[in-house]
Amino acid sequence: MELPIIPPAASTFANEVDHIFYTLVGLTIFFTTLVFCLLIVFVVRYHRGSKANRANRSFGNLPVELTWSIIPGIIGLVIFAWSARPYAEAYNPPADAQEILVIGKRWMWHLQHADSGIRENNELHIPVGKAIKLTMISQDVIHGFYVPAFRVKRDCLPGYYNTVWFIPTKVGKYPFYCTEYCGTNHSKMGGFVYVMTPADYLQWKENGGNMEVAHRETAAERGYDLFNKYGCANCHASEDGVHGPTLNGLYGSKVVLQNGQTVTVDDNFIRQSIVNPDSVRVAGYPPLMQAYSVGDGPGQLSEEEILELIAYIKSLGGQNLRTLKTTTSSATQPSKGAGGK
Amino acid sequence: MSTVELEHPTFAPQHVGHQFEELEQQNDAYIVGIWIFLVTEIMFFGALFLALTIYRYNYATAFEEAHNALNWKLGMLNTFILLTSSFFMAMAVRAKTLDIRSQTKMWLGLTLLCAFGFLTVKYFEYSAEIREHHFPGPTFRWEAPSKANVEANTPLVQMSEAPKGIAGLGNYTPQPIEHHAHQLFFSLYFIMTGLHGLHVLVGILVLGCLWVLIAVKHPAVEDYIPLEIGGIYWHFVDIVWIFLYPLVYLIGRQ
Amino acid sequence: MSSISVPGAVPVPESRKERENYLNIQHTVASWLLTLDHKRIAILYLLGITFMFAIGGAAAAGIRIALVRPHDTFFSNEVYNKLFSIHGIVMVFFFLVPSIPAVFGNFALPLMIGARDVAFPRLNLLSWYLYMTGSFLMLLAIIFGGVDTGWTFYTPYSSVYSDTNVSLVIFGVFIAGFSSIATGVNFLVTIHKMRAPGMTWFRMPLFVWAMYATSIIMILGTPVVAITLFLVAMERIFGFCVFNPVCGGDPLLFEHLFWFYSHPAVYIMILPSMGVVSEVIACFSRKRIFGYEFVGFSSLAIALLGFLVWGHHMFVTGESMYSGMVFSLISFLIAVPSAIKVFNWSATLYKGNVWLSAPMIYALGFIGLFTIGGLTGLYLASLAVDVHLNMTYFVVAHFHYVMVGGAIFGFMAALHFWWPKMTGRLYPESWAKLAALIMFIGFNLTFFPQFILGYLGMPRRYHYYLPEYQAWNILSSAGASVLAVGYIIPFCYLLWSLFKGAPAGNNPWGAVGLEWTLPSPPPSHNYDEVPIVTWEAYDYEPVIQAELAGAAVSHPLMTTEEPYIKETE
């Protein structure tokens, strides 16, 4: 029977986490040994009947108190700072990170590669050495996406996008789990991440991944189709902004809402604009947009479709994205390759 | 009456619990106890106020529209009723410290009357809201805002007509807006005012019991402290409403 | 097994056996169910929490049996999910939170401060009825099919999706919460207003400081979780919109509100144990606790700081990284007062005159295991590391080290320390030490492998796991069976001692404290005359000097008529 102790470390993040972890292990061993030894030594030495020297018993000592208060405090602060840095870094994905759209639902994971449109269920194929960004949302309850080998975890919330990014460093097959209890089959909701060499990954992508039908559309292209199908183009296609705000160059910019707040247009903002537009209505526009209902029923938008729409809107240019030329006033075709590669 | 007499009124020997050494210790304990209990109540309501504040920040428009549907006039009436009841309560405690039973009963009776009045007004308010399908749950329905409200929330840009469909892309016309954050507002509204109403009801029971005990000259209420404690509780119930009413009914109203 | 466990003890005079005390003053059921005596209420609580502990323990047994196999286990997914939910809810809300405060706080606190009862005896009885009602509703929920939300009740799973008895459980927890609040109010007023003349704050035993700090947390935190769970119930029963994202609600708001109580709640569970450890270490070292003021203030510091760290349960929810940093920083700081206590207790042993009795073994076990548990908390406070360890078995191991290795060991220490006082009987010391050892070994065998499993990445609340984790899981389950034995043995000998244990005198431990001046068991009214305190807390100097000189102990708090039983092992 196996007795594993150390999980594989397969991302840049993993190495940093492991360094901090082992330092903490060292500290734990040190302080635990210290306390155990003190207790055992004192109990033995000063056991009733022993001839140890008990003269000058003391009941308090300020310098000693300060020492053993301040030193652990400082150690704690150092560990805190050391650990905060990689944590903060995990909140800032690089602009060229390859985006994977992730939808969690009871009890499986749908993943879509934004750049190639390849869809996977409970599996994720990615190239080694490239930054990967997951944009995640749940269709029902809170889930969590966890890859122990990458030391990466993020909750997958209903109604709100969470993102997480990492750079895998070792080719291999690593389990991933749902890590927020979600009901009956919570412990079966997971799969494997396949980290491949760049060549293998390219070939996998060329073959359409594991999909039998080779859907060659990118997420943005699918989004363009949805943009027209659901009538978004009626108000948002024109550039004059009379009927609805133009979406060209919108992503990443700042807008002023009706209540005076200034917000940045990000994934969550766009999603809110679709499902509850009144709550994020931009100043100057009347309340005319219909809220789209989310779900799998007829006439409803699924979470995946919303993500694809957002991919399309991103492809129309904006902050931190490659700018695109827009020449016509009808709905702009997404440029090939937009959305990050 | 000098203040000394008010603080140490003369009355027959009191029943001091066996755990206490003297009456003053018992009285102190009860007063400290009720204040600590009020701290717990502040935490209890506080969480609801927090939830309301957070959701109000997130859904400013919907919350504003929703709260415009509340009957602020009845709410104002209830505010006056409660404030008046607090005055009556204070008078009742004063009468008790002066050991004037008849006045105590009268003032306490008036307090109870106000409390019943509050709940009656609440009944009418709730009935109307339920009729308008504003009770959260499967029966909830939010109608498009009335003309008055639309004019009140005049947008900066007026649409002279609805946009026509763009050629080649079908005839799509905007539908009425779904306002699901309104249900959020009403859920919190009913829970907060409902919980407050429950506290008023408990207050009626407590003050009612005190009234009966005072009426029959029960030894437990020989001392003024039980009524003082009831009074402190009642004033707290009033204060919660003083915060609740402006936050829920008034702020942002045109 | 001889009836007198301590050789050389002076036999208790016959007359003592007929002395009236709080147990034999009345025998009717009504006299128990309508009692206003804090000591009887403590016993009633002890019965209640012991029963609930058995329920929670049975659920734990189910979990560990199921986890012996990585798949194809004895239970279905649904049942497994209910087992861990019931285990968590029962252990947290119906055992750990009441345990020491409701049993030993009720029993010993008034005695320790020289009072005749708590400030509000009727409120005290009401708190017991509230606890029993809440427990009854919980049991009803279990009988009706259980609950599967986990003890954390995260929305929208609990408010919309789960089809188990969530609302019934919520009402049980809600009502038990008010029991907690009532206890907190009672203790705060008692400590403020009913200390004997001369007992200043800095002459109070540290157990009283701990109960004070615990009560602050109880009254500030419990109402928040009560109303939060109430909102979940409203959403569930009436279809209100509060946390359901479909209608605009925010599930993370639930998490914030829930953890705002549930983090301080863990300090409700540990602070009383720390107070017990102070009492036991002082008594069995024959020495005043080193750094008394520091230990007292650290209890308050833990209580207050404990309200500022709840976000460390939410580091991976996508909350703002700045708020994550603030919570992480304060979580590291809160380790300092705990460290202060551990070092002060250790320093108390230095140059003391140590007696390794059963309570002392449990207290020492507490210090060691709490050190491990507390240190592993730092891993979870550490942002980057928590991303990996959150919601894995590492967290499970961490909190069991502090809750079982800490809180329950403290409870066992209290149980054995005050057992003679409560029952007037001595328990068999050898059996007690054996049980403590078995518990220590079983506990470590059960939970240490879980640190490893967590680091490997095994998520918690998992019924199925990867086959390579099986060895550690089997080890953990084996340890659990040893631990179970460790729990059963005290249950047996303590019960036995009620009938066959040697009668205990006022002060079998030679402890310094007001409660030890009273007969065992104490009379209903506690003190004939309220004592006037003129000595400092833990005034063991006369005791240790006499012991070191081999002379008889003479101390104002120890009456000469009462035989002082020396430990001769």
C226 touches chain B (CB under 8 A): yes
Q: Which of B33, B45, B138 sits opposite C239 (nearest CB)?
A: B138
- Rounded CA separation A292/A287 (Å): 14
**What percent of chain C has pLDDT above 70?**
95
CATH number of the domain within which A257 lies: 1.10.760.10
What are the tens digits of pLDDT across the range A158-183?
999 999 999 999 999 999 999 999 99
Least confident of A284-288, B18-22, C168-172: A284-288
Q: Quick one: pLDDT at residue A33?
A: 97
Which domain covers residue A300, as residue numbers? 219-315
- Rounded CA separation A23/C375 (Å): 12
Q: Quick one: pLDDT at residue B62?
A: 86
CATH number of the domain within which B200 lies: 1.20.120.80
The residue of chain A with its CA nearest to that of B161 is A243
Q: Do residue B33 and residue C120 have CB atoms under 8 angstroms apart? A: yes
C194 touches chain B (CB under 8 A): yes
Q: Which residue has the tokens 């329950």?
A: C408
Q: Quick one: pLDDT at residue A188?
A: 93
Number of CB pairs < 8 Å for B and C? 116
Q: Which of C156, C288, C336 sits opposite A73 (nearest CB)?
A: C336
* Mean pLDDT, rounded, for C526-550: 90
What are the tens digits of pLDDT across the range B137-176?
888 888 755 443 443 333 322 233 333 333 323 333 333 3
Q: Cα–Cα distances in Å, from C129 out to C110, C177, C554?
A: 20, 12, 44
B24 touches chain C (CB under 8 A): no
Average pLDDT of chain B is: 83
* Mean pLDDT, rounded, for A213-235: 82
- Rounded CA separation C509/C501 (Å): 16
Residues A201 and A227 in one domain: no
Q: Is residue A322 part of a domain?
A: no
The residue of chain B with its CA nearest to that of C247 is B180
Q: Residues near C282 by Cβ (< 8 Å), separated by ≥ 6?
A: C206, C288, C289, C348, C512, C538, C540
Q: Which of C287, C333, C355 sits opposite A57 (nearest CB)?
A: C287
What are the tens digits of pLDDT across the range C191-214?
999 999 999 999 999 999 999 999
Q: Do residue C321 and residue A141 have CB atoms under 8 angstroms apart? A: no
- Name chain A contacts of C287, Cβ cutoff 8 Å: 57, 59
Q: Do residue B61 and residue A283 have CB atoms under 8 angstroms apart? A: no
What are the tens digits of pLDDT across the range A1-33?
778 889 999 999 999 999 999 999 999 999 999
Q: Is residue B224 part of a domain?
A: yes
Contact C401, C372 (CB under 8 A): yes
Name the region of A299 (left: φ>0; alpha: ψ -120 to 50; beta: rest): left
| pLDDT confidence bin for A214, thresholds 50/70/90 | low
C75 touches chain A (CB under 8 A): no
Q: Specify the number of domains making up chain B.
A: 1
Q: Quick one: pLDDT at residue C555?
A: 80
Which domain covers residue C297, as residue numbers? 37-549
- Rounded CA separation C287/A224 (Å): 79
Q: Which of B32, B48, B55 sits opposite C189 (nearest CB)?
A: B32
C355 touches chain A (CB under 8 A): yes
Which domain covers residue B211, as residue numbers? 21-136+179-250
Min Cα distance A17 → chain C (Å) is 5
Longest pairwise C-alpha distance within chain A: 98
Q: Residues near A249 by Cβ (< 8 Å), separated by ≥ 6?
A: A316, A317, A318, A323
10 Å Cβ neighbour count for C503? 19
Residue B13 pLDDT exceeds 60: no
| pLDDT confidence bin for C15, thresholds 50/70/90 | low
Q: Residues near B49 by Cβ (< 8 Å), separated by ≥ 6?
A: B192, B243, B247
Q: Quick one: pLDDT at residue C553?
A: 80
- The ipTM value here is 0.91
Q: Is residue A277 part of a domain?
A: yes
What are the tens digits of pLDDT across the range B165-189?
333 233 333 333 345 789 999 999 9
Higher-pLDDT residue of C550 and A290 is C550
C223 touches chain B (CB under 8 A): yes
Q: Quick one: pLDDT at residue A241?
A: 62
Q: Which of B155, B163, B180 sits opposite A276 (nearest CB)?
A: B180
Query: Which chains does C contact via 3+ CB–CB distances below 8 A?
Result: A, B
Residues A12 and A145 in one domain: yes
Burial C541-555 (b: 16+ CB within 10 A, else e): bbbbbbbeeeeebeb
Residue B10 pLDDT exceeds 70: no
Least confident of A40-44, A167-171, B181-185, C84-88: B181-185
Q: Is residue B159 part of a domain?
A: no
Query: What is the value of pTM for the model shown?
Result: 0.91
Average pLDDT of chain A is: 87
Contact C245, A159 (CB under 8 A): yes
Q: Is residue C184 part of a domain?
A: yes
Q: Is residue C32 part of a domain?
A: no
What are the tens digits of pLDDT across the range C412-438?
999 999 999 999 999 999 999 999 999
- Name chain C contacts of A4, Cβ cutoff 8 Å: 456, 468-469
Q: Which of C248, C368, C468 sits opposite A4 (nearest CB)?
A: C468
CATH number of the domain within which A27 lies: 2.60.40.420
Contact C394, C350 (CB under 8 A): no
Q: Quick one: pLDDT at residue C4?
A: 31
Q: Which of C157, C351, C470 sits opposite A183 (nearest CB)?
A: C157
Which token pair is C480?
A: 């659990």
What are the tens digits of pLDDT across the range C449-482?
999 999 999 999 999 999 999 999 999 999 999 9
Residue A215 pLDDT exceeds 70: no
B36 touches chain C (CB under 8 A): yes
Q: Residues near C255 by Cβ (< 8 Å), separated by ≥ 6?
A: C154, C313, C314, C317
Q: Which of B59, B157, B175 sits opposite A290 (nearest CB)?
A: B175
Q: Do residue B32 and residue C193 have CB atoms under 8 angstroms apart? A: yes
| Residue of B63, B169, B185 best to disrupt the A interface, most CBs of A under 10 A | B169
What are the tens digits of pLDDT across the range C308-337?
999 999 999 998 999 999 999 999 999 999
Q: Specify the number of domains making up chain C.
A: 1
Alpha-carbon Rg for chain C, nearest whole angstrom, is: 23
Contact C266, C277 (CB under 8 A): no
Residue A66 pLDDT exceeds 90: yes
Longest pairwise C-alpha distance within chain B: 94
Which 249-268 residues of chain C touch chain B by CB within 8 A?
249-250, 253, 257, 260
**Chain B residues with CB within 8 Å of chain A CB:** 58-62, 155-159, 162-163, 165-166, 168-170, 172, 174-181
- Name chain A contacts of B172, Cβ cutoff 8 Å: 231, 234
Among A321, A127, A157, A77, which Cα is nearest to C155's? A157
Query: Which chains does B contact via 3+ CB–CB distances below 8 A?
Result: A, C
- Name chain C contacts of A188, Cβ cutoff 8 Å: 77, 464
Task: Check residue A125 and report its DSSP letter.
Answer: E
| Residue of A226, A288, A293 best to disrupt the B interface, most CBs of B under 10 A | A288
Q: Quick one: pLDDT at residue A29?
A: 97
Burial of B165 (0-12, 13-18, 19+ CB in 10 A): middle
Q: Do residue B183 and residue C248 have CB atoms under 8 angstroms apart? A: yes
Asked if the bond preceding C110 is cis, omega within 30° of 0, the reply is no
SS3 B95: helix
Least confident of A88-102, A221-235, B46-60, C403-417: A221-235
Q: Do residue A54 and residue C351 have CB atoms under 8 angstroms apart? A: yes
Q: Specify the number of domains making up chain A.
A: 2
* Mean pLDDT, rounded, for B16-45: 94
Residue A240 pLDDT exceeds 70: no
Residue B5 pLDDT exceeds 70: no
Q: Is residue B99 part of a domain?
A: yes
| pLDDT confidence bin for C13, thresholds 50/70/90 | low
Q: Quick one: pLDDT at residue A281?
A: 85
| pLDDT confidence bin for B6, thresholds 50/70/90 | very low
Q: Is residue C222 part of a domain?
A: yes
Residues A231 and A212 in one domain: no
- Name chain A contacts of B159, Cβ cutoff 8 Å: 286, 288
* Mean pLDDT, rounded, for B131-142: 89
CATH number of the domain within which C191 lies: 1.20.210.10
- Rounded CA separation C311/C314 (Å): 5
Residues A172 and A255 in one domain: no
- Name chain A contacts of C339, Cβ cutoff 8 Å: 68-69, 72
| Residue of B15, B19, B61 best to disrupt the C interface, most CBs of C under 10 A | B19
SS3 A188: helix
What are the tens digits of pLDDT across the range C346-392?
999 999 999 999 999 999 999 999 999 999 999 999 999 999 999 99
Q: Is residue C495 part of a domain?
A: yes
Q: Beta-strand (E) ranges in C126-185?
A: none
| pLDDT confidence bin for C505, thresholds 50/70/90 | confident
**What percent of chain B has pLDDT above 90?**
63
Q: Is residue A31 part of a domain?
A: yes
